[in-house]
Amino acid sequence: MTWDPIRPLIVQSDLTVLLETHHPDFEAIRGELSRFADLVKSPEHLHTYRITPLSLWNAAAAGMPIDQMTACLQQYAKFGVPSSVLSSIRKYANRYGVLRMEDVGNELYLVSDDTVVLKEICAYDSLKKYVSDTRGERAIAISHVARGVLKQELIKLGFPVEDLAAYRKGEQLPIQLLDEEEGQAPFQLRDYQRHAVDAFHRIDAEGSGVLVLPCGAGKTIVGIAAMARCGCATLILTSNVTSVKQWKREILSKTGLSEDQVGEYSGTSKEVKPITIATYQILTHRGKKEDEFSHMRLFSERDWGLIIYDEVHLLPAPVFRATAEIQATRRLGLTATLIREDGREEDVFSLVGPKKYDMAWKQLESMGWLAKVSCQEVRVPLSGMDRDRYSVSGARQQFRIAGENLAKLDVIDHLLIQHANEQTLIIGQYIDQLELIAAHTGAPMISGGMPYERREELYQQFKKGQLPLLIVSKVANFAVDLPDAAVAIQVSGSYGSRQEEAQRLGRILRPKRIGTANTAVFYSLISEDTKEQDFALKRQLFLVEQGYEYGISSWEPVRKKREEVHHEV
């Protein structure tokens, strides 16, 4: 191999790739590499990526050629690229599309031009009940009801299926975006939003899939435009009641649909209309553990032509099972990150669809569609009282003690003074901690137990600038539109959840009003030398893989500096 010390990549034979962060082309290389590899570690000087079969299949499904993947490595590899790595990339990426599901008349076929592959899968005991009806050397007739389950089984064996079989048109429903109606309020899709819809609904390969867009990029708008393109009855599944309300508002304000065509299906209202918006919680609700999920019947209440899974990374396991049974209905997943805490990314690929479009956060920031964000971790020593409790507690309790560290109140006071004229959110995991902060600051707190109407009232006051500070629990992780929020202070979180980090960062990403600085700051208060600091490293991965610089400081120097300045004054 030729050695070139100027190049920033070290490609290892186990499919890990190390990227030097101080290289002048770091941003461009990171953007290209992240299209087909997953970031797994992000220390200051050297980031570690891993190339996996799933990362390659998603890249292939999104249209990235294999030669582009290998060229990226070969162009920047310091010691060259091991031949085994190039071979593995071609082996796995080429598997996408080898097996296809297609319609032949009224029958569903699993087909391949590679007769060896078909013979191989027919030999697996786990597949024999699905693939016994062979039709020549290149096709197997399969049951329509096995469409989803077979895709799940095949991807476990390393054979992703490209599903090209037909979809039901569903109940037709013409949907006109208001910008298409003369005399209506102007509404234009941004270029990247239009490209996302085009990627989902390509004329030559209409299918299902996932669109990955940052929080604040208008995923709801993209979903509405996809609905209009399909022109059919649509079931929208989302994370909470706040999100249901937001979807309904956006649909009614951006389309020609009327109030009686859009229904809400939640704990308080169960309307099934041509456009129906439901929560994952209501679908998975049951009285007792042994009871059936009675609300799952919503999947068959109408002849849906499209199902939209908002925040698809949160899709519960029972909804996966229901989704496996409705593969003839077109499906659209919307998310800011494909990372799932339960590791079921392969099920998203098989049952909802592969990644069809991915827009980098920093790219939208450079276009002005997202605020410029500075991410800062402030490490705070445990208070004396908490340090004593921490030393005699078990692991789980230690994490909570670190999260609720009383010394964080002092940091909050300092940051609120520093950002006195900016709209600020304090976000946390523990209700007791948030109530203490609310009492300490005099600001209102929003939690899941608060009635929806009161939540909306406080959100509106914050939007109007009547409330400069709002304290929110994890109920505000999703679908809260607070465009003027310029500072977020995260005081505690859910272990190493990268998806939560994405959602919380999203609360401050929306562009600010014209005439104000389009900037924001995201603080994470972390108890120093504790389990919380260990988990914070995992959460940082999301921010770093999106291209954000992550500054780290210690609270003690900050406090001493403030005291010195005060003394001089």
- Reported as a single tens digit per residue, the pLDDT across 398-434 is 999 999 999 999 999 999 999 998 889 999 989 999 9
- Max avg pLDDT among 15-24, 177-186, 357-366, 510-519: 15-24
Average pLDDT over residues 63-75: 95
With tokens 């010691």, the residue in question is: 79
The better pLDDT of the pair 550, 177 is held by: 177
pLDDT at residue 331, as a whole number: 96
Q: Which fold has domain 365-568?
A: Rossmann fold (3.40.50)
pLDDT band per the 50, 70, 90 thresholds, residue 557: very low
237-241, 290-294, 392-396: least confidently modelled range: 290-294
Q: Rounded to the nearest 5 degrees, what angle is found at the Cα of 537, between the Cα atoms of 535 and 541? A: 120
For residues 356 and 155, give the distance between their C-alpha atoms in angstroms, rounded to a whole number.
Answer: 18
pLDDT in tens, 356-392: 998 877 788 888 888 888 889 999 999 888 989 999 9
pLDDT at residue 285, as a whole number: 84
The better pLDDT of the pair 362, 201 is held by: 201
With tokens 């977020």, the residue in question is: 488
Domains 178-359 and 365-568 share a fold: yes
Closest Cα partner for 359 from 93, 39, 35, 54? 35
What are the structural domain ranges in the chain? Answer: 9-93, 99-163, 178-359, 365-568
The better pLDDT of the pair 469, 373 is held by: 469
45-59, 377-391, 537-551: least confidently modelled range: 537-551
The better pLDDT of the pair 169, 66 is held by: 66
pLDDT band per the 50, 70, 90 thresholds, residue 563: very low
Q: Which residues pair with 470 in a beta bridge?
A: 425
Cα 48 to Cα 310, 543, 549: the distances in Å are 30, 14, 16
Tokens (6 digits) for 341: 């805490």
231-235, 330-334, 488-492: least confidently modelled range: 488-492
Of all residues in the chain, what percent carry a pLDDT higher than 70?
90
pLDDT at 186 over 70: no
- CATH number of 178-359, picked from 3.40.50.300, 3.10.20.30, 3.40.1160.10, 3.90.1150.10: 3.40.50.300
Query: Sign (positive/negative) of CA torsion 529, 530, 534, 536?
Result: negative
pLDDT band per the 50, 70, 90 thresholds, residue 152: very high
93-107, 175-189, 198-212, 367-381: least confidently modelled range: 175-189
Q: Are 88 and 57 in contact (CB under 8 A)?
A: no
With tokens 């706040």, the residue in question is: 242
pLDDT at residue 185, as a whole number: 52
pLDDT at residue 494, as a whole number: 75
The better pLDDT of the pair 548, 345 is held by: 345
41-50, 239-248, 371-380, 417-426: least confidently modelled range: 41-50
pLDDT at residue 188, as a whole number: 85
Q: What is the residue-wise DSSP string for 216-250?
A: TS-HHHHHHHHHHHHTB-EEEEESSHHHHHHHHHH
pLDDT at 34 over 60: yes
**Chain mean pLDDT for the chain:** 86
Q: Is residue 100 helix, strand or coil?
A: strand
pLDDT in tens, 266-306: 888 899 999 999 999 899 888 777 777 889 999 999 999 99
Average pLDDT over residues 77-81: 93
Of all residues in the chain, what percent carry a pLDDT higher than 90?
54
Average pLDDT over residues 110-125: 93
Q: Is residue 377 helix, strand or coil?
A: strand
Tokens (6 digits) for 170: 């569903």
pLDDT at residue 566, as a whole number: 39
For residues 338 and 220, give the distance between their C-alpha atoms in angstroms, rounded to a whole number.
Answer: 17
Question: In sequence order, which ranges of 380-430 are alpha helices (DSSP H)?
Answer: 384-391, 395-403, 408-418
Q: Residue 83: count other Cβ atoms within 10 Å of its Cβ.
A: 10
43-47, 138-142, 325-329: least confidently modelled range: 43-47
106-115, 267-276, 545-554: least confidently modelled range: 545-554
